[in-house]
Structure 1
């Protein structure tokens, strides 16, 4: 055995000497091989390094932080905007295109606003779309009329699908004359949905009618099952796939949106208009208009308004519970739950750990149902609340994970 080990050791030493001799004879060859290997590795890694630098810069811009000088070149593309009107099955909708002026044929990404009365003009959305476009991406922000009016309905699924198809048909690289005789008629695009729009985007991607036009779906702070979210607004509890419960006091916003959406279930018909004006002003965060609308109410209407605003009272929660029963089917129609197991579109899921509008357990449910090959990445981050970068006490590791997650999105969006 010792002699065998000796022969093996001698053989290895002999081969090492031969290699060293060859290196001495032809150092240029081995230097070239090493340089080539380094170059290949650099080429492979470069897009990922670039995406991470861009992710840091984008997150700084969205958080209203100064971008470090060393990163400014990564988001140096000047951006122009164009106001558009998109044809959809629900009628024409306004949209805005953000285009890098030096890359008019850049890869495309659709960013969908959440439930907010400013729609595509919401300042945070504008800042994000501009930042993403400065990375070399065309960004389309369509208006979702129902979502803008605080109505999470199935009509928006078709609007999202139609907008995605429209953009995919304009995401085809320009022909240079060297392509095959049959040109591409469309190129799928990534779709990023904020809040409830993320869940609706998943439903659009699951539809055979729209599936081919989706490159990926990126859902931020989105619902899996609307009924479960509605129940959370009453109880402060959201079940987790593991069998546990997420316990977090809900923001009043969620319950108020449900009341506003189905106000006819909460107040007499003759009180609808004046009470809708009060709720609208409250949701729009317009205190002067809310005060003016309240001043127009009679005593009975004022009592009804006070009751609706108190989303923690037993009476209001009882009304919300009855409303859930009445709209079970409607809520199922805007819930990805049960539609994800056969989804083939790549999916990225991001949720704020402290989200008290749509609890993070919803992302856990989606991740549990999605096929392994479909779910590209999932992150529940303490850096985020609902859609804002204002989480409490995130550490450096949490921030790095969020940067890496956004780098994955940028890398996916820049492909075509």
Structure 2
């Protein structure tokens, strides 16, 4: 497969996973800017490190509660009533948990990243530290790399793709990068300005010409 790839496209991707996880816990993006992170990022991190921060007997019940919350967040995009039922179920599951799982799940349910993030921060290095999970640490691809990012992305900040582009170019990579207000991490902004539309069109035109 390596010798048959024409190009690679990253849509809202990270360059360094531990750095991105740190952002989701603190809101401090690369370069020193502060952008409040989306709350489901910390919920997903908690799901991944639950076995490190709660007693073994609490791990499975906590994971079930977190998955219920994440499912509710997903359903909320098209069925508000069903989402409310699932959010209520997540709160009920939290009430049945022992401590410290109950407090952690309450932070998830109330979207309290300010309290949950610092508790997760000590664990994100071991959770995402393998170099294969961070493109900036991998060998430079021998084919063009296209990085497309939402300018105000609060799951993986746009600075991630900027730093990745800089790293790859510095090592001889062929990189095209665009950060645009037309998209967020998960959706398209239909009210974007014409120049943003044009820049996005040019980005896709260059990619499709490969």
Instruction: Specify the TM-score bucket, using the shorter chain as the normaliser.
Output: 0.7 to 0.9
Aligned residue runs from structure 1 range 16-35, under 5 A: none
User: Which residue does the alignment assign to 2:14?
Assistant: 223
Is 1:317 the equivalent of 2:104? no
| Superposition deviation, residue 328 in structure 1 | 5.3
TM-score of the pair, normalised by structure 1: 0.43
Q: Which moved more, 1:266-275 or 1:354-363?
A: 266-275
Moved more, 289-298 or 214-223: 289-298
Distance 2:205 2:147 in 1: 14
Deviation readout 1:76-108 (Å, 9 max, x if unpaired) = xxxxxxxxxxxxxxxxxxxxxxxxxxxxxxxxx
User: Is 1:234 the counterpart of 2:25 in the alignment?
Assistant: yes
Which residue of 145, 163, 187 corresponds with 1:365? 163
Tell me the distance in 1 between the aligned counterparts of 2:103 and 2:127: 25
Displacement after TM superposition at 1:284 (Å): 1.8
Question: Deviation at 1:367?
Answer: 0.8
SS of aligned partner of 2:135: coil
In structure 2, what is the equivalent of residue 182 of structure 1? Answer: none
**SS of the residue 2:133 aligns to:** coil
**Where does residue 291 of structure 1 map in the other structure?**
88
Partner of 2:103: 303
Please tell me whether the aligned partners of residues 274 and 293 of structure 1 are also in contact (alpha carbons under 8 angstroms). no
Find the residue that maps to 2:19 and give its secondary structure.
helix
How far is 1:371 from its partner? 3.2
Q: Map of 1:31-50 to 2, 5 A cutoff?
A: none
1:398 aligns with 2:199: no
| Alpha-carbon distance in 1 for matches of 2:56, 2:29 | 33
Alpha-carbon separation, structure 1, partners of 2:53 and 2:41: 15
For residues 303 and 374 of structure 1, the distance between their equivalents in structure 2, rounded to whole angstroms, comes to 46
**Residues 268 and 308 of structure 1, relative CA distance in 2, 3 Å threshold:** farther
Q: Which has the higher contact order (CA 8 A, sep 6+)?
A: 2
Superposition map of 1:9-408 within 5 A: 165=1, 211-239=2-30, 244-285=31-72, 286=75, 287=83, 288-296=85-93, 297-298=95-96, 300=98, 301-309=101-109, 310-314=111-115, 316-327=116-127, 329-330=129-130, 332-340=131-139, 342-371=140-169, 374-390=173-189, 394-408=192-206
2:144–2:175 CA contact under 8 A, matched in 1: yes
Change (3 A) 1:271 1:355: same
Give 1:236 shift.
1.3
Displacement of 1:339 in angstroms is: 1.9
Report the count of equivalent residues.
195
**Paired residues of 1:216 and 1:346 also in contact (CA < 8 A):** yes
In the superposition, the TM-score normalised over structure 2's length comes to 0.81
In 2, Cα distance between the equivalents of 1:351 and 1:327? 24
Deviation at 1:265, TM superposition (A): 1.9
> How many angstroms does 1:238 deviate by?
1.4
Output the CA distance in 2 between the equivalents of 1:405 and 1:328. 30
Distance 1:320 1:359 in 2: 19
| 1:343–1:371 contact (8 Å) kept in structure 2 | no
**Cα root mean square deviation, aligned:** 2.3
Q: What does residue 80 of structure 2 align with?
A: none
SS in 2 for 1:262: helix
Specify which structure has the higher proportion of strand: 1
**Structure 1 residues 328 and 275: CA distance shift in structure 2, 3 A:** closer
Q: CA deviation at 1:299?
A: 5.5
